[in-house]
Structure 1
């Protein structure tokens, strides 16, 4: 089965035109058009939906430390939605630097990742076969001044705890919009961090995540509720 390559979009308008053309289409139809095989389920292919849509839209960054559309500065985030239109889970943003810290919000990777985001809702009701799950209407978004102020305050609080060696004290309750959670395939995937006395320690990798409450509010502001409540 041949895999098609789509040229990167040259403008935000082109990105939006491409993603709007996908709205309402089932994942199986998109995969067949691109020559991609459907996994049986997403348990062992968690990033498959995002990879499929990146391919369909001509994203080029892959796993590189850059936005998905680097020449446009646009990051793409899929939003798996329940049947009632609410996000199913929190949204991964990027890894947490546990050494070699960037302590300036303006140049932080979190800010760069979230400065311009293409949110692509995708049906994720487990009662719907993967091949029949549809893509929703996308949103090209930048944080408002109020949203960025809260994101910045969260980031500064969390990064201060990381820098002070308080990583193990961080829980999912810290942060209003942004939180830090472990991100590893298993408990043996350790990396270097900083302990309470500044000493090197081995710990689990961590990731920054946006709370589902934040994306729920975002969707509620721009869309009617119940995006996939009727089939």
Structure 2
């Protein structure tokens, strides 16, 4: 166990990154936190991003909260995904904050969503609530890029959602819009408002929104690669 060490610098290539991620598989969050001298919260209610922070530390991620990919030099984003005992995702996956103004002429090819999902290192983590946080195991990593069909699904949903935002319909969008990608409020509280365009074209204040991958998309992605 002592031979395992966090990567102190960003990995030079994806082989090094994947090899390090594979070494973490089978360890518990408590074991990795202890080896990295990181304290463990009682639960994730106030520390929702703690698992991501722990794995970024072990994998040498460089982005922090910057809008670039976690491993910018490699063009790879890190996504942890809580799964049940059958390897199925337990929640939707946050992709990025959605721009609610200044969207004239935006296209899928240069969108932030496509940039973030171009190449993803998925790390499944046990997520069932009855398992204490420290005892949850890390799963086998998956380095993924969307297939043509997956990209087409994402693109169609993104275009539909962005059309509604541009047309001033942001307040009408629900989590049911989109087959694989959804738009949902993303704010610490209801007072954190941001600028958007209203139905009559005038500026309004609304909750910030984020793009999320639906569970059906990530479930199929994991099932395809792990033959679940």
TM score, norm. by length of structure 2 = 0.95
Q: Secondary structure at the match of 2:47?
A: coil
d(CA) in 2 for partners of 1:85 and 1:153?
27
d(CA) in 1 for partners of 2:101 and 2:11?
35
d(CA) in 2 for partners of 1:55 and 1:221?
29
d(CA) in 2 for partners of 1:85 and 1:117?
18
Report the CA distance between 1:38 and its aligned residue. Answer: 0.4
Report the CA distance between 1:169 and its aligned residue. Answer: 1.0
d(CA) in 1 for partners of 2:205 and 2:50?
30
- Equivalences for 1:168-179 in 2 at 5 Å? 168-179=171-182
Q: Which residue of 1 aligns with 2:153?
A: 150
Q: Secondary structure at the match of 1:161?
A: helix
* Mapped pair 1:162 → 2:165: yes
Q: Which residue of 1 aligns with 2:27?
A: 25
1:138 to 120, 137, 141: 141
Q: Which residue of 1 aligns with 2:91?
A: 89
Q: Which residue of 2 aligns with 1:13?
A: 15
Question: Structure 1, unaligned stretches of length 5 or more?
Answer: 226-231
TM score, norm. by length of structure 1 = 0.94
Note the alpha carbon deviations across 1:99-146, whole angstroms, 9 max, x for none. Answer: 122611110000000000000000111111111101000100000011
Q: Which residue of 1 aligns with 2:226?
A: 223
d(CA) in 2 for partners of 1:202 and 1:169?
14
Report the CA distance between 1:164 and its aligned residue. Answer: 0.5
* Mapped pair 1:180 → 2:220: no
d(CA) in 2 for partners of 1:148 and 1:84?
26
d(CA) in 2 for partners of 1:127 and 1:83?
12
- Equivalences for 1:193-212 in 2 at 5 Å? 193-212=196-215
Q: Which residue of 2 aligns with 1:58?
A: 60
- Equivalences for 1:39-78 in 2 at 5 Å? 39-78=41-80
d(CA) in 1 for partners of 2:128 and 2:154?
29
Q: Which residue of 2 aligns with 1:228?
A: none
RMSD: 1.1
Report the CA distance between 1:83 and its aligned residue. Answer: 2.2
Q: How many aligned residue pairs are there?
A: 222
Does 37-46 or 79-88 show the bigger shift? 79-88
Contact 2:7 2:59 (C-alpha < 8 Å) held by counterparts: no
Question: Structure 2, unaligned stretches of length 5 or more?
Answer: 1-5
1:34 to 27, 33, 36: 36
